[in-house]
């Protein structure tokens, strides 16, 4: 270890940073690797950014609203369900809020619970905090291990629903069983809930230990703007406000997010299109190709490719991945664990992008064996 590195705290010196999905610098890719929206944001978002900027940009001299107060109120109105602005906190992406939750509730003396597989940022954030982690693995069914979560030692438990990278959603009935038995804070990361049939927002009123985390990066086509929010009991929101940066969301992002939240009809239409494409894609993989594919409630599908001999394996998944990359189609593989290594995670793009994907996979599966 270098002398400079040894000046850092030991847990910092040994950190492994989060690995984001590839963002290719040049165009021409069919980009199905990071679950971004294939359609543009509401046109009102562009108008809102232009008017927040003003004619000469002089509004940028001023600090943004420190609490994102108008946006908190709009999010509460949007969800209804008895929520007020006191139940809402805005983050610089939902990753900011996940970080605040770890900062407030996780330490070496306060275990954080996570499942595997799940969003791989959680263990990174817990590591930055030098926190203790309890990992509860799924089995191949990917159903929620309710009883194991209830009997975990976690102070705070992070669940993703619909889960990533599987797309499998957990029902409110299952979440209520967890909430009835688990004494800690249950954080449900609903990054993909706009694509699902059910979500946990209606459980908030009766369950003060529930936190629901949302993002505008996926269904709202605003990954570049970096806005997410959390919904929770006002006391939890107050604790999170105590550990956030005082100006954590910039002025242009607040304006853009407000315009998006206030155009639900636009988003209902693109979400319906994405779900229709997802369902056609799932049928194509599961029925025509006979590839094992989890039922997805998200904007991606998790499918287990078979080679020309009908074989699935990590090597087969890697072969399909490499072939797709060679043809400028980018998807995601998760080679580090047996539960995920033989699968591809494919973001639902436009119908045209899914056609390119399908044709490329047809060529691969006719010609390639691992």
Ligand X SMILES: *Cc1c(COP(=O)(O)O)cnc(C)c1O
Comparison of 114 and 179: residue with beta carbon closer to ligand X: 114
Determine the angle formed by the axes of helices 251-261 and 43-53, rounding to 10 degrees.
150
Count Cβ atoms within 10 A of the Cβ of residue 79 and give its class: 0-12 exposed, 13-18 middle, 19 or more buried.
Answer: buried
Q: How far is the CB of 151 from ligand X (least distance, A)?
A: 24
**Interface stretch with ligand X, choices 3-11, 193-201, 214-222, 277-285 (CB under 6 A):** 214-222
Contact (CB, 8 A) for 99 and 76: no
Stretch that binds ligand X, among 41-49, 88-96, 148-156, 194-202 (CB under 6 A): 88-96
* Cα separation, 346 vs 34, whole angstroms: 9
Q: How far apart are CA 305 and CA 36, in angstroms?
A: 22
Using the rule CB under 6 A, give the single segment among 10-18, 104-112, 166-174, 210-218 that binds ligand X: 210-218
Classified as helix, coil or strand, 134 is strand
Other Cβ atoms within 10 Å of 154 Cβ, number: 23
Candidates 68, 111, 152, 215; binder of ligand X (CB under 6 A) is 215
Give the C-alpha separation, 48 to 293, whole Å.
40
Least spacing, CB of residue 293 vs ligand X, in Å: 19
Distance between CA atoms of 275 and 296, rounded to whole angstroms?
9
Interacting residues with ligand X between 332 and 351 (CB under 6 A): none
- Residue ranges in 164-183 that form contacts with ligand X under rule CB under 6 A: 164
**Which position among 114, 117, 189, 330 is part of the footprint of ligand X (CB under 6 A)?**
189
Q: Which stretch binds ligand X (CB under 6 A): 20-28, 63-71, 193-201, 212-220?
A: 212-220
Residue from 52, 149, 210, 223 binding ligand X (CB under 6 A): 223
State the residues that interact with ligand X by CB under 6 A.
35, 93-95, 119, 160, 164, 189, 191, 215, 217-218, 223, 228
């Amino acid at each position: 270890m270098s002398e400079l590195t040894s000046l850092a705290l030991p847990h910092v010196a040994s950190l492994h940073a989060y690995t984001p999905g590839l963002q290719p610098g040049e165009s021409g890719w069919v980009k199905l690797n990071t679950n971004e929206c294939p359609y543009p944001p509401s046109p009102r978002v562009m108008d809102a950014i232009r008017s927040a900027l003003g004619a000469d940009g002089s509004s940028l001299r001023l600090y943004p609203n420190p609490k994102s107060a108008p946006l908190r109120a709009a999010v509460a109105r949007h969800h209804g369900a008895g929520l007020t602005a006191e139940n809402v906190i805005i983050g610089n992406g939902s990753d900011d809020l996940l970080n605040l939750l770890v900062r407030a509730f996780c330490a070496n003396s306060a275990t954080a619970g996570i499942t595997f597989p799940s969003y791989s940022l959680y263990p990174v954030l817990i590591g930055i905090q030098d926190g203790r982690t309890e990992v509860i693995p799924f089995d191949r069914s990917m159903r929620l291990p309710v009883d194991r979560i209830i009997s975990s030692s976690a102070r705070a438990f992070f669940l993703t629903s619909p889960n990533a990278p599987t797309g499998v959603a957990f029902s409110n009935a299952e979440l209520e069983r967890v909430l009835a038995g688990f004494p800690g804070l249950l954080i449900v990361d609903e990054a993909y809930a706009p694509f699902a049939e059910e979500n946990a927002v209606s459980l908030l009123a009766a369950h003060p230990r529930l936190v629901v985390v949302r993002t505008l990066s996926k269904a709202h086509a605003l990954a570049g703007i970096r806005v997410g929010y959390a919904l929770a009991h006002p006391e939890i929101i107050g604790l999170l406000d105590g550990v956030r940066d005082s100006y954590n969301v910039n002025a242009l992002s607040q304006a853009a997010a407000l315009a998006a939240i206030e155009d639900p009809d636009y988003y209902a239409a693109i979400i319906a299109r994405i779900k229709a494409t997802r369902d056609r894609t799932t049928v194509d993989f599961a029925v025509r190709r006979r590839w094992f594919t989890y039922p997805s409630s998200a904007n991606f599908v998790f499918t287990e490719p078979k080679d020309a001999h009908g074989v699935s394996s990590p090597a087969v998944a890697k072969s399909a991945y490499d072939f797709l990359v060679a043809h400028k189609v980018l998807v995601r593989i998760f080679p580090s664990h047996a539960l995920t290594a033989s699968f591809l995670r494919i973001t639902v793009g436009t119908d045209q992008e899914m056609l390119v994907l399908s044709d490329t996979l047809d060529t691969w599966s006719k010609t390639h064996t691992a």
